[in-house]
Structures are given as C-alpha cells and as structure tokens.
Amino acid sequence: MPMGMADIAEVLWNDFLQHNPINPHWANRDRFVLSNGHASMLLYSMLHLAGVKSDGQRKEVTLDEIKKDGKIIVATEGQFAPFNYFEGTKLTGFEVEVAELVVKKMGLKLEWKTLGFDALLTGLGQDRWDMVIASHGITEERAKAVTFTSPHYCSGGAIVTKNPALKTANDLAGKVLAVQTGSSYLDAAQKIKGVKEVKNFPKDPDAQAAVMAGRADAWITDKFVVMDVLKTQKNTGLQATGMLFVEKIAAAVGKGNQGLADAYNKALGEYMAKGGGYEALSTKYFAEDVRCK
Ligand code: ARG
C-alpha cells in the first residue's frame, strides 16, 4: 500500500523524536491524533518542536508557556555538595533549596533533571530544560550562550592540597592540578604560568580523589565545597591553602529569555530580602551569609 501523507509524517515524526530530545513542555502541548488532514499541521508542528520559528529563528519556551504548563524544568548536577547533591535518592543542597523556594514564590511547580555538569548549559541552549542552577560562575564566555539571573551566592576557587607550601598561583608552577571539566577552575588552572599538567574530571569529587591518591598536587574547587569536605570527611590529609579568584554564582536561562529571568529575579529578590528566608538557609548550610556583598 502506498504511503499517505500521514504515514510519511509519522515516520518523520518518529525519526525526529529519536534524534531530538525535546522539552516536555512541547510534548505536552503538541500531542494530537494523526490523520491525512493533520499531516501538514504535524510537519509545521515538527518545525515548531525543533525550535524553528517561521522566520527560521530558534524559539524559546516563554514565561507564559511555562505558566500555562504550571511547571518549570530545572537542571542541575547533583554531585557538588553542599550546593547540589544527593542524600540517598533525594536531590538536595543549598541551591536546590533556593531554587525550590524561589520557584514556589513564582507560583510554579519544579521538575528537576540531573545531568553531567558539562551538559547543563548546552542543554539550555537546546531548550531541553528552562533553567540551570549548578553553581555556575558568571563569565563573559558563558554569557555569550546563556542569560544569567541575579547571583544567589558569591564564592571563589580555592587551592586544596596535602602540601601546605602551595598557597598561591606562583607556587603551582611545575605542579599537576586536578579540576572539574567545564568549570571556571579549569579556566583558572589553564591560565597559571608554568603548571606541569591540568587533569580534568567530569565530576568534582574525582578531582579531589586524584589529589588524595597523590596523582595530582592540588585540587581547585569552590571554597565552600572544601569547607564541607573538611567538615564531613575525616583524614583526607587535605587543606585549603589559598584563594585563586572570586566569582558570582547564578542560575541561567536560555539566551535572551529575559521574561523568565525577570520573574525569577523578582522572586529571588524577595527571598533574599531581610527576613525573606535566605539568611536562615545560608546559615544552616555555611554558618554564614554567602550572598554577594
Ligand atoms: N563555580 C564553578 C564554575 O563556575 C564550578 C561549578 C561546578 N558546579 C557543579 N555543579 N559541579 O564553573
């Protein structure tokens, strides 16, 4: 039997779904029954799903669309304690709690996705999720690809080592450094003059393990991550010896999705205002207020 329009469309559709991870918002909105009459509509819809507007521009999920669905899809890593990590099967952490409280203020439900750190901003660019919160420092380079929200804390890259003599960037000449792939620590490590080797690891705890096992001289990571390690893990032999740089940490939305960023910023602003709850949460995790001063 010859293939009709609907058959062709269905084949294309299935092929499309196989090759294109789609944002569930679209999946919810664009489901309909196939018929010959619907075939051209489906082709149109496929372009829509692929994120192509009729003028050929990429289409983002707007705040209105998110509100209509009632839920925002937020991606994080889940391997960066105490900011985003798993307690058993439960995703938790300082910024996980911040996001949950802020999204609640926005009147939305939150659906978490957890992925490798390196995939997070890329997936945002493909509209696979609406927002990322995973301790990203605001950098010019990243800001070319995503829109950052207001920061939810300030921190920086610390030198963590078994060797107390390694206190500054100069001391790291001739040394082997361990950092997380795709992180600002990798960038910082690569800029240090005379470094012998920069080893990078998909997960930050693996960079820590490399230093503990003597396969690297120093681990560069967030200063609060080190504090947490020193508090929760005994006999690591590690110490934080110095700071390399400071950074403002923020969530990110798709490039130019200003409506969503504004709504998040407004709710975050309320949460971070005096008595809004932020200070208490910050004290619970860090025994200090970690907001940018
Ligand atoms: N703050 C660093 C950066 O901006 C590291 C972030 C790592 N986050 C994570 N979830 N592993 O790159």
The SS3 of residue 248 is strand
Contact 143, 225 (CB under 8 A): no
CA 137 – ligand 1 centroid, Å: 7
Residue owning the nearest CA to atom 7 of ligand 1: 135
N-term to C-term CA, the chain: 71
Q: Give the pocket of ligand 1 (CB within 6 Å).
A: 77, 80, 84, 117, 134-137, 180, 183-184, 204, 222
The SS3 of residue 149 is strand
pLDDT of res. 56: 43
Rounded to two decimals, the pTM is 0.84
pLDDT of res. 16: 60
> Any residues with CB less than 8 A from the CB of 165 and at least 6 apart, and which?
171
Compute the Cα dihedral for 180, 183, 188, 193 and give only its sign: positive
Atom of ligand 1 nearest to the CA of 184: 12
H/E segment holding residue 28:
helix 24-29
pLDDT of res. 81: 98
CA 217 – ligand 1 centroid, Å: 20
Contact 157, 221 (CB under 8 A): yes
Closest residue by Cα to residue 70 from 123, 130, 127, 22: 130
Contact 282, 155 (CB under 8 A): no
Atom of ligand 1 nearest to the CA of 134: 10
Atom of ligand 1 nearest to the CA of 186: 12
Q: Taking the chain (293 residues) in consecutive chunks of 10 residues, what is each chunk's mean pLDDT?
A: 63 59 54 44 57 50 94 98 98 98 98 98 95 98 98 98 98 98 98 98 98 98 98 97 98 97 98 97 98 97
Residue to mutate (ligand 1; options 135, 203, 208; most atoms within 8 A of CB): 135
Atom of ligand 1 nearest to the CA of 76: 10
CA 41 – ligand 1 centroid, Å: 42
For residues 78 and 202, what is the distance between their CA atoms, to the nearest angstrom? Answer: 12
For residues 50 and 44, what is the distance between their CA atoms, to the nearest angstrom? Answer: 10
> Any residues with CB less than 8 A from the CB of 25 and at least 6 apart, and which?
61, 65, 66, 69, 73, 130
For residues 167 and 164, what is the distance between their CA atoms, to the nearest angstrom? Answer: 7
